[in-house]
Homo-oligomer: A and B are copies of this chain.
Amino acid sequence: MLEARLEQANLLKKVVEAIKDLVQDCNFECNDSGVGLQAMDNSHVALVSMLLKADSFSPFRCDRNIALGINLVSLQKVLRAAQDKDILTLKAEDSPDVVNLVFESSDSDRISEYDIKLMDIDQEHLGIPDTDYAASITLPSAELQRICRDLSALSESVNIECTKEGVKFGCTGDIGSGSVTLRQHTNVEKEDQNVDIQLSEPVSLTFSLKYLVNFCKASGLSSRVKLCLSTDVPLMVEYSLANNSYLRFYLAPKIGDEE
């Protein structure tokens, strides 16, 4: 059986909000190391990979590997019932029909409990190769969100060009063109605001803004976001969570004359 207690129900709520537009149904893979999720979006352009390590829960118990096939719209409906500060416990049997979610208010005077029916989902297991990226950029997540939102007013696509000095997000559309350039900068006082660039080779790649805007819904999960790029390889967008847990998005670059 699975029994996993998450101090902040909000964490799962934000994760689901961030991915539900990309993926409708998916398996939450539970085993003794934690709860993981991998799924491609319908058009197979983007991939979501989440891992909530066992250490992110307390306590965490999972005797056997269980795949919980959940409709994310249903899950979101239930998670909206979570109040700020609520504690969430996920429970499932070893061969479950339902997953059980229990929300406790911190004073325990309010308990709400939901069962969500599970579904069988064909799990094409997705191997994600470890990649040595040519460029890794870590920046404030709110900044990336703002950039993507601003540029999406002009164009469907953004070109991300990274050099040792900085990173430039540029686009061209019918009404004109725009770009935002961030220089690498470090300030020990305001670490959250830093822009860190690790570069082995300059890169320039183009991506769909619609997807990036979508990924940025996860900004609430972490003040920082890491972008990893290499030529002809999907972009990785990573939100690191406590206890080495993470939410990652992958997005294939646009090629050649695609817009």
List residues of A whose CB falls within 8 A of some B CB. Answer: 71, 74, 77-78, 80-81, 83, 98, 109-117, 143, 146-147, 150-151, 153-154, 175-183, 185, 195
Instruction: Describe A's contact surface by its main secondary structure.
Output: strand
Contact partner, A178, options B83, B114, B180, Cβ 8 Å: B114
How far is the CB of A104 from the nearest CB of chain B, in Å?
10
Instruction: Check A176/B78 contact, CB under 8 A, given A83-B146, A146-B83.
Output: yes
Between-chain CB contacts (< 8 Å), 16 pairs: A71-B175, A74-B175, A74-B176, A78-B153, A78-B154, A78-B178, A80-B150, A81-B151, A83-B146, A109-B185, A112-B179, A112-B181, A113-B178, A113-B181, A114-B177, A115-B177
What residues of B have a CB within 8 angstroms of the CB of A154 in the complex? 77-78, 114
A111, B181: Cβ atoms under 8 Å?
A: yes
**C-alpha gap A81/B143 in the complex (Å):** 11
Give the docked Cα–Cα distance between A185 and B111 (Å): 13
- The 8 Å CB contact of A113, one of B153, B179, B185, B195, is B179
Residues of B within 8 A of A71 (CB): 175
State how many angstroms separate the Cβ of A93 from the closest Cβ of chain B: 15
Q: A28 to B41, alpha carbons, bound, how many Å?
A: 45
Partner of A77, one of B83, B110, B153: B153
A181–B117 CB distance below 8 A: no
CA A114 – CA B114 in complex, angstroms?
50
Residues of B within 8 A of A146 (CB): 83
Smallest CB separation, A19 vs chain B (Å): 18
Contact B111 A180 (CB under 8 A): yes
A183 close to B78 (CB less than 8 A) = no
Q: Are A180 and B112 in contact (CB under 8 A)?
A: yes
Shortest beta-carbon distance from A198 to chain B in Å: 18
